[in-house]
Structure 1
Amino acid sequence: MVDLHQEFENSRFYHQARIDRRSADALLGIAAGLTADNTINQREAEFLKNWIEQHLAHLDDPVINLLYRRLANMLSDGILDADESTELLEILQQFTGAPSNSPRPFTAPTTLPLNDPAPALDWPDRVYLFTGAMAYGPRKECEALVLDRGGLIGGSVSKKVHFLVVGSVGNEQWLHSSYGTKIKKAVEIREAGGGIAIVSEEHWQRAVFG
């Protein structure tokens, strides 16, 4: 008698990688759909978290695991507040490679436009802004480290911002990664003679922790 259960198991393992690839591609499509209107609400965030749990939670993938951890953290209190919604939107836009208000398709950059040499970071009355996914943790925790040292947090990229810190997670890992709008605007200000500096998270962490 044919062992149909064993045959199914063999087939399942044989095709598991292809199934996972389809699920990852589906996640990319879902993320693109959720960010199409440049907003992420509570219902959408909860849907995305549940979808990952059902389809991709078993994957040992650093990008998907990071996305899931950030979602779980944001929804841990049952509320997606305005700051979390903004951060989640930016993370998903990086994931899909489609920053908001982009008139042209984006391609992955080969390097980030970081200041070279990297400037010394100081804190009192210096305005910091974060973009991208931070390896250290949620953006609020990164901002708290700046505030604890006497620094300030900017609301958007402008000439008043001294340092734009680019999160290290995703620079090499995000699928179809691309420069975000914050980095683009910061480059424009810098090239026009503004005082903003674009620095890596690694450089920022060294300044924070020594």
Structure 2
Amino acid sequence: MRRHLMDEQTLNRLNADRLQSRQVDELIGLARGLIADGSINHAEVEFLEKWLVTNLSVSQQPLIATLYNRVGTILADGVADLEECDDLFAALSAFTAGDATLGEAAKSTSLPLCQPAPPIIFDGKTFCFTGTFSFGQRKHCEEAV
């Protein structure tokens, strides 16, 4: 009997859906752990970056890529300042559906508000940017539009 050896890249491609689902589940757990104490510090941002780098190479999960870019922006100057940590905390809180009350069922981690994505018409329109963005900081969103 002849055995076929597959490289890691081929295995990842064949198991892409399962891997991406597992990655999102793991990221939700990781995010819940990071925000459990009510804040995020520089060491936690670096830890998240290491996890994202490792998992970005396994699949092309858009959520991981977006968060990786955001964390990269935070750490670009070598310092995760308080405002950046607070923004990341808010994003991870929203992603994990926030804090749960003891005895309460876990909340949904996503809302079906943009499934499918609504059309966006840019010409002749005015946009107001508020809140926390998965794309990056407010100035990056404004520049993109």
* TM-score of the superposed pair, with normalisation by structure 2: 0.68
Does the residue aligned with 2:39 lie in a helix, a strand or coil? coil
Whether the 8 Å contact between 1:45 and 1:71 is mirrored in structure 2 is yes
| Corresponding position of 2:71 | 71
| Corresponding position of 2:40 | 40
Q: Which runs of 5+ in 1 are unaligned?
A: 112-120, 122-127, 143-200
Offset from partner CA, 1:82-118 (integer Å, 9 cap, x none): 10010000111111112x5x5455345565xxxxxxx
Q: Percent identity?
A: 28
Aligned counterparts, 1:155-170, within 5 A? none
Paired amino acid for 1:87: D
Does the residue aligned with 2:28 lie in a helix, a strand or coil? helix
Q: Higher relative contact order by CA 8 Å / sep ≥ 6: 1 or 2?
A: 2
Higher strand share: 1
| Corresponding position of 1:152 | none
Q: Which runs of 5+ in 2 are unaligned?
A: 114-125
How far 1:63 moved relative to its partner? 2.2
How far 1:42 moved relative to its partner? 0.5
Paired amino acid for 1:40: I
| Corresponding position of 1:30 | 30
Please say if 1:92 is aligned against 2:88: no
Distance in 2 (CA, whole Å) between partners of 1:39 and 1:94 is 14
Offset from partner CA, 1:33-89 (integer Å, 9 cap, x none): 001111000000000011111123453333222111110000011100010010000
| Corresponding position of 1:147 | none
Q: How large is the RMSD of aligned CA atoms in angstroms?
A: 3.3
Larger radius of gyration between Structure 1 and Structure 2? 1
Higher helix share: 2
How far 1:18 moved relative to its partner? 1.8
Aligned length: 127
